[in-house]
């Protein structure tokens, strides 16, 4: 039986990871892991599709029973990747894509030597700042906090196997498809 590739897509908040994932979901060669999170659903998010929305207690018991490949705290909520569906999909020869933040990517690196870690970079920090400021609902204080976090996250880029600049969505999608197909 062939074994699929475990691919981690990470990068600073606001860089556009979720747009890339939306396009990749139309590619049958990828299996997408559904994370568990303690944050509340946003309008339109369906339990079991966007995330498994769980309580703090449920998340604690998932940690205790060793269900997570990795988990991390981000913006006041916890997020984690359940092991079982990832292993099942890899065993079926599927490429599994995890769209996670950087602390989680580091845990995958230490547990799965064969994982491919991809860092999505903005064309420049100014462009990232524009994107972050474009989320008009955030207060100036929140924008400043997000920018400070993004600077820290950008410093992790050299820990990754591949860096892909998000000039155009199609280019990034193509880069990921060809990384997945590489022997
Ligand atoms: P959001 O709340 O906007 O959906 O996601 C916030 C951040 O959490 C994003 O950077 C996303 O990549 C990250 N994230 C989503 N699921 C997981 C997960 O299972 N593990 C980790 N470590 N990060 C996750």
Residue corresponding to tokens 């890339």:
20
CATH of the domain at 28: 3.40.50.300
pLDDT, position 2? 61
Residue 182: predicted pLDDT: 86
* Confidence band for 127, pLDDT divided at 50, 70 and 90: very high
Query: Has residue 142 got a pLDDT over 70?
Result: yes
Is the distance from the beta carbon of residue 17 to the nearest atom of ligand 1 less than 6 Å?
yes
Domain hosting residue 132, numbered range: 6-181
1 assigned to some structural domain? no
Ligand 1 neighbour 12 (Cβ under 6 A): no
What's the pLDDT at 137?
74
Q: DSSP letters along 111-172, please?
A: H-TTPEEEEEE-S-HHHHHHHHHH-TTS-HHHHHHHHHHHHHHHTTGGGSSEEEE-S-HHHH
Q: What is the mean pLDDT of the chain?
A: 94
CB proximity list for 33: less than 8 A, separation 6 or greater? 81, 82, 85, 86, 89, 96, 97, 98
In whole angstroms, give the CA distance from residue 72 to residue 80: 6
Count Cβ atoms within 10 A of the Cβ of residue 109 and give its class: 0-12 exposed, 13-18 middle, 19 or more buried. middle
Most ligand 1 atoms within 8 A of CB, residue of 54, 78, 104, 112 to mutate: 104
Confidence of residue 83 (pLDDT cuts 50, 70, 90): very high
- Ligand 1 centre from 149 Cα, in Å? 14
Q: What percent of the chain has pLDDT over 90?
A: 90
Kindly indicate the confidence band of residue 29, based on its pLDDT and cuts at 50, 70 and 90. confident
Number of structural domains in the chain: 1
Establish if 47 belongs to a structural domain.
yes
Flag whether pLDDT at 97 surpasses 70: yes
Mean pLDDT, to the nearest integer, of 119-146?
90
When pLDDT is cut at 50, 70 and 90, the band that residue 139 belongs to is confident
Task: For residue 149, give the nearest of 168, 171, 125, 172 by alpha carbon.
Answer: 125
In a domain, 21, yes or no: yes
For 12, the token pair is 């600073």
pLDDT at 136 over 90: no
Q: Enter the pTM of the model.
A: 0.94
Residue of higher predicted confidence among 122 and 136: 122
Is the distance from the beta carbon of residue 51 to the nearest atom of ligand 1 less than 6 Å?
no
């Amino acid at each position: 039986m062939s074994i699929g590739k475990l691919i981690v897509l990470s990068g600073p908040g606001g860089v556009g990871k979720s747009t890339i994932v939306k396009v990749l979901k139309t590619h049958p060669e990828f299996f997408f892991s559904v994370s568990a999170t303690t944050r509340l659903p946003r309008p339109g998010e369906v339990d079991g599709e966007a995330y498994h929305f769980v309580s703090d207690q449920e998340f604690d018991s998932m940690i205790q029973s060793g269900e997570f490949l990795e988990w991390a705290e981000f913006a006041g909520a916890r997020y984690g990747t359940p092991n079982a569906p990832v292993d099942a999909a890899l065993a079926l020869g599927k490429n599994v894509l995890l769209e996670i933040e950087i602390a989680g990517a580091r845990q995958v690196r230490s547990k799965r030597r064969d994982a491919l870690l991809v860092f999505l970079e903005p064309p420049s920090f100014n462009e990232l700042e524009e994107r972050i400021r474009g989320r008009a609902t955030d207060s100036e204080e929140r924008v400043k906090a997000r920018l400070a976090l993004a600077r820290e996250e950008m410093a992790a880029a050299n820990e990754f196997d591949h860096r892909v600049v998000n000039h155009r969505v199609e280019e990034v999608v193509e880069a990921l498809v060809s990384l997945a197909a590489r022997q």
